[in-house]
Every structure is written in C-alpha cells, then in structure tokens.
Amino acid sequence: MKAKKAKKIVFKSAEEMPTMVISVGSQTHNLTGAWRNIRPEVDRTKCIRCGICWKFCPEPSIEIVDDWPVVDYDYCKGCGLCAEECPTKCIVMVEERK
C-alpha cells in the first residue's frame, strides 16, 4: 500500500489558525539559544505582521512588539520553523555571528 502524502495547509494570518495549547515549562528559565549556528533575521520591508512566525515557534523566542515580530536570541535555537512557515518569506536564516 502506497503511503499518502500529507497536504500542506497554508494559513494567511494567525487568526486563521486553530487555537493551540502551549506549554513553555522550563524553557523560560533556561537560555537555550547558546548552541545555535544559524539564526532568523526579519526583513520588516516584507513582513505583513501576520504573527505566524510567533505561532509556529516551538520556543518562547519570538515576541510581538508594536505589531512586529522580535526574536529573542537568548532562547532561539535556530530551527528555522519561523522562516519555513512565513507566508512572505521575510525571515531568512543567516549564519550565526560569534
């Protein structure tokens, strides 16, 4: 039997997404971004302020400040989910600066 391919669901804004249960547990107590080798950077000229990056981030590392996404690099692990899910591709993953 051939496996079915999952259909990608694309949301245009955070409001279109279903409510999700989020547990940050100890994530807010441990600085988890120290081992990352790539990091997200947001191009505000392309950002539509939809909040999808915030909703998909598995860590408490994206905050919405004055309607703009702001990455807290103390917690960002560089997984790239925010960049992958961004509908306008305004988030790019760049090599970490040391």
Q: What is the pLDDT of residues 44-92, one digit of tens each?
A: 999 999 999 999 998 889 999 999 999 999 999 999 999 999 999 999 9
Structural domain total, the chain: 1
pLDDT band at 12 (very low <50, low <70, confident <90, very high): confident
Looking at the domain assignment, is residue 18 inside a domain? no
Whether the pLDDT of residue 15 is over 80: the answer is: no
> Which class for 25: exposed (0-12), middle (13-18), buried (19 or more C-beta within 10 A)?
exposed
Looking at the domain assignment, is residue 37 inside a domain? yes
pLDDT band at 35 (very low <50, low <70, confident <90, very high): confident
Is pTM beyond 0.75? Reply is: no
Mean pLDDT estimate for the chain: 85
Cβ 81 vs Cβ 36: under 8 Å:
no
Looking at the domain assignment, is residue 1 inside a domain? no
The one-letter amino acid code at 38 reads I
Q: CB atoms < 10 A from the CB of 53, how many?
A: 26
CA distance 36 to 4: 34
Domain around 34: 27-95
CATH number, domain at 76? 3.30.70.20
Looking at the domain assignment, is residue 45 inside a domain? yes
